[in-house]
């Protein structure tokens, strides 16, 4: 998984060096940074194969990437970067929001994740977390009613406390130390 995360960090850099056929502020290119067959298989496994054939446009400080082929699973997909860091990603049944201000901003540093069904469905779940501060807090509204149903607090990838909302109050358990 670390190898995949590193692959995602170099995404905008790979675009800058591999795009072909520029048209004004746009070009078709490979934004994946994938170099080996294994890296390409990882992209495919995560449903991100379109990164190897993306229409990428420069818009001020932002880089906007969409699949060159908007058919099937790639429909309604958009990835936005600012200064080489992810800002917004809509793909499949989820929408991701990132903070490009993080020093180590990468695709695995999601601030808000909204799960939704197909194009005709409503939002199904909302997930959000603090990023860049220790301890970090993650909240999950599993039924999208505005009340988080699960929250976890952790420090350096170790869970400090896990809480579940039951009977109008938090029921919490401390993590092992």
pLDDT at 124: 66
Cβ atoms of 80 and 88 closer than 8 Å: yes
Q: What tokens does 42 get?
A: 């990882």
For residues 118 and 45, what is the distance between their CA atoms, to the nearest angstrom? 20
| 130 has pLDDT over 50 | yes
Q: Which residue has the higher pLDDT, 168 or 116?
A: 168
For residues 141 and 169, what is the distance between their CA atoms, to the nearest angstrom? 14
Q: What tokens does 90 get?
A: 């809509």
Neighbour-count burial of 28, counting CB atoms closer than 10 A to its CB (0-12 exposed, 13-18 middle, 19+ buried): middle
Q: pLDDT (tens digit, 9 = 90+) per residue, 88-112?
A: 988 877 888 887 666 655 555 677 7
Confidence of residue 3 (pLDDT cuts 50, 70, 90): very low
Q: pLDDT (tens digit, 9 = 90+) per residue, 110-119?
A: 777 777 665 5
């Amino acid at each position: 998984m670390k190898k995949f995360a590193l692959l995602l960090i170099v995404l905008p850099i790979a675009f800058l060096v591999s795009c072909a056929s520029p048209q004004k502020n746009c070009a078709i290119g490979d934004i994946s940074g994938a170099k080996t067959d294994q890296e390409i298989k990882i992209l495919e496994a995560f449903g991100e194969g379109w990164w190897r054939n993306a229409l990428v446009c420069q818009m001020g400080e932002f880089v906007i990437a969409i699949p060159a082929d908007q058919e099937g699973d790639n429909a309604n997909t958009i990835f936005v970067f600012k200064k080489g860091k992810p800002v917004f990603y809509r793909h499949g049944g989820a929408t991701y929001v990132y903070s490009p201000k993080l020093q180590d901003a990468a695709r695995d540093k999601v601030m808000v994740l909204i799960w939704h069904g197909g194009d005709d469905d409503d939002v199904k779940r909302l997930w959000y977390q603090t990023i860049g501060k220790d301890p970090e807090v993650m909240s999950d509204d599993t039924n999208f009613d505005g009340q988080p149903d699960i929250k976890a607090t952790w420090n350096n990838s170790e869970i400090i406390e896990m809480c579940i909302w039951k009977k109008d109050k938090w029921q919490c358990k401390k993590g092992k130390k």
